[in-house]
Amino acid sequence: MDDDVWDVVIVGGGTAGLTTAIMCASRKLKTLVLEGGVWGGLPATMYPSKVIPNYPGFPEGISGIELVRKWIRGARDNPHIIMKRERVLKIEKGGVVKTEENEYHGKTVVIATGTRPRELGIPGEAKFNRKDKGVYYYVTHREKFIDNRVLVVGGGDTAVDAALDLVDLAKEITIIHRKDRFRALDENVHRMEQSSNITILLNTELEEIKGTDKVEEVILLNNKTGEKKVLPVDMVVLAVGLKPHTEMFTELGVETDDRGYIITDRMQRTNVEGVFAVGDIVKGAFRLLIVGAAHGAVASQKIYEYIRKPYWAGEDEK
């Protein structure tokens, strides 16, 4: 057990978690950040080389990994922040956070656990989604897709971006969407439609992924006609959305919506006293990196008020 009482214990070391830590530290709050996976969250694990076009301050764009490096440096160089690679198992009322190794106590707790790729749960997915057997959830390393036949599944920005990222690398690209139109940015959809290397199949669902040691073919279903077809492919990118990391706070009593996203007020406070939530885990969050950073800034202000109780606390809520 760690006997120290922290001002803030932040669960999650992605965009929102690291920003919250940096902003809390600017108020000299004793801050602990716990991360069981990779520092930086999705920009570090899923799209490190992707250029982020909409993060203010970088008009030419900046890659996901460059942003991550800046956040990590800002946190590690701050004397008021301790960063630990420990996987959180449970968050309990009273500011108790239990990891595989230790138990920590915080005057406040910030849930910044983010999201992870949603799985389809179809036959063959689990067999091939590890050890480079052909099923992926994002185009993390573009070089792996060179001269391969790729199926992209999904209708949002992630799916369309994946198809466009591979257009000059893959031998051929097929993108399928279960609806009759894409919901991605119109400009990118138009670029995709103009590409001679991308085949678009709407009203189409992926039923099964087949192969021996690696992906070899897929079974597609047209949900309008009921027709099925076999498509030979080498790789499948399942860009079908994200789901929240909820396991560690199920017993805390934090209010969530029916999908597991945490409900907060506009100051990032949950219904449990002293518990805040920031970033993609929050219901209704517009899932951009700048939004996660903004959540961190807002939460840090309210955390400071909650702990230090300055005379001006709450003035911005009147």
Give the model confidence (pLDDT) of 179-224 as tens digits.
Answer: 999 999 899 999 999 999 999 999 999 999 999 999 999 999 999 9
Of 23-32, 249-258, 273-282, minimum mean pLDDT range: 249-258
Residue 277, pLDDT above cutoff 60: yes
Q: Quick check: 123 and 135 in contact, CB under 8 A?
A: no
Across the range 145-172, mean pLDDT stands at: 94
For residues 175 and 2, the model is more confident at 175
Q: Residue 27 corresponds to which tokens in the numbers above? A: 């108020």
Which range in 47-51, 101-105, 248-252 is most confidently predicted, on average pLDDT? Answer: 101-105
Residue 157: pLDDT band with limits 50, 70, 90 = confident
The packing angle between helices 186-194 and 157-165, to 10°, is 40
Residue 300, pLDDT above cutoff 80: yes
The Cα 27–Cα 286 span in angstroms is 27
Q: Residue 49 corresponds to which tokens in the numbers above? A: 């080389």
Residue 308, pLDDT above cutoff 60: yes
Q: What share of the chain is helix, strand, coil (3-state, %, to 5)?
A: 25, 30, 45
State the Rg of the chain over Cα: 22
Residue 288: pLDDT band with limits 50, 70, 90 = confident
pLDDT of residue 2: 52
Q: Which domains does the chain have, with CATH numbers?
A: 5-116+242-317 (3.50.50.60), 119-238 (3.50.50.60)
pLDDT of residue 3: 56
Q: Enumerate the H helices of 151-238 as residue ranges.
A: 157-165, 186-194
* pTM: predicted TM-score of the whole model, two decimal places: 0.87
Of 127-141, 200-214, 267-281, minimum mean pLDDT range: 127-141
pLDDT of residue 317: 87
Residue 259, pLDDT above cutoff 70: yes
The Cα 12–Cα 17 span in angstroms is 5
pLDDT of residue 49: 80
Q: Name the nearest CA neighbour of 151 among 214, 212, 220.
A: 220
40-73 tens-digit pLDDT: 988 888 888 888 888 899 998 899 899 999 999 9
Across the range 81-92, mean pLDDT stands at: 96
Q: Quick check: 243 and 118 in contact, CB under 8 A?
A: yes
Residue bearing tokens 């160089």: 77
Cβ neighbour number for residue 107 with a 10 Å cutoff: 16
